[in-house]
A and B are shown apart, each in its own frame.
Chain A
Amino acid sequence: DAGITQSPRYKITETGRQVTLMCHQTWSHSYMFWYRQDLGHGLRLIYYSAAADITDKGEVPDGYVVSRSKTENFPLTLESATRSQTSVYFCASSPGLGPPDTQYFGPGTRLTVL
């Protein structure tokens, strides 16, 4: 039972490079989410998706692109990475049968932009 996985777990890149963070869930959950976690800001929602081919912006979407061609995958792309995007990124999923609902997190990707 893999649940929700993220890859890579650690990534170092340079300013201006494109980076894609992967998220995969095996529960067939409808909803998937991307958050970033920074000291002093807690968890902030970047993008979310209600189903395949349906995505919407969260609180901090600038500089990020998402896609969801398959229910189980929700990649997050930084088109031109900046130092301010150094953070820990968490993917999460929800069954989407509610509200009420629950949400489960992946292990995170620690991204450093030099």
Chain B
Amino acid sequence: GQQLNQSPQSMFIQEGEDVSMNCTSSSIFNTWLWYKQDPGEGPVLLIALYKAGELTSNGRLTAQFGITRKDSFLNISASIPSDVGIYFCAGQLMNFNKFYFGSGTKLNVKP
């Protein structure tokens, strides 16, 4: 199956710091999605990206669709304790309705 490499696996940061995480693949995707999962809950869609080079924000979150279409980045600015959770990327290939998921980035924010 398709491999999405998500990094870092985990992060320990101080409240107020900015955070960056990314996903890369050897395949070209035409959609990138970013999710957040809280303990005991399902993943919640944060940002959807549909065009190469697209930069989209959702509050303090900003995600970018890489121009090579093989990667995507998520940035969180001025982190707060409620940002704690696991962040997943997901990519969709052209002409397929399945999504492939990264292994997740576990974010810990110290108050």
- Residues of chain A touching chain B, judged by Cβ–Cβ distance below 8 Å, are 31, 33, 42-43, 45, 48, 50, 58-59, 90, 94, 96, 98-108
Contact = CB atoms under 8 A, between A and B. Distances in A.
Contacts of A50: 97
Contact of A45 (B42, B50, B98): B98
Contacts of A100: 30-31, 48, 50, 92
B96 A43 contact: no
Interface of B: 1, 30-31, 33, 35, 40-45, 48, 50, 88, 90, 92-99, 101-104
13 contacts: A43-B88, A58-B98, A98-B31, A99-B31, A99-B93, A99-B97, A100-B48, A101-B92, A101-B97, A103-B45, A103-B90, A107-B41, A108-B40
Nearest to A106: B42
A42 B44 CA distance: 15
A107 B43 CA distance: 8
B97 A43 contact: no
Contact of B41 (A31, A43, A108): A108
Given A99-B92, A101-B92, A107-B41, 12 more contacts: A31-B97, A42-B103, A50-B97, A98-B97, A99-B31, A99-B93, A100-B30, A101-B31, A102-B48, A105-B45, A106-B42, A108-B42
B81 to A, nearest CB: 22
A22 B97 CA distance: 22
A50 to B, nearest CB: 7
Contacts of A48: 97-98
Would you list the 9 A-B pairs with minimal beta carbon distance, nearest first? A105-B42, A100-B31, A100-B50, A42-B103, A43-B101, A105-B43, A107-B42, A108-B42, A102-B48
A67 to B, nearest CB: 19
Contact of A94 (B30, B40, B95, B97): B97
A46 B52 CA distance: 29
Contacts of B35: 105
A102 B99 CA distance: 9
Given A50-B97, A103-B45, A105-B44, A42 B31 contact: no
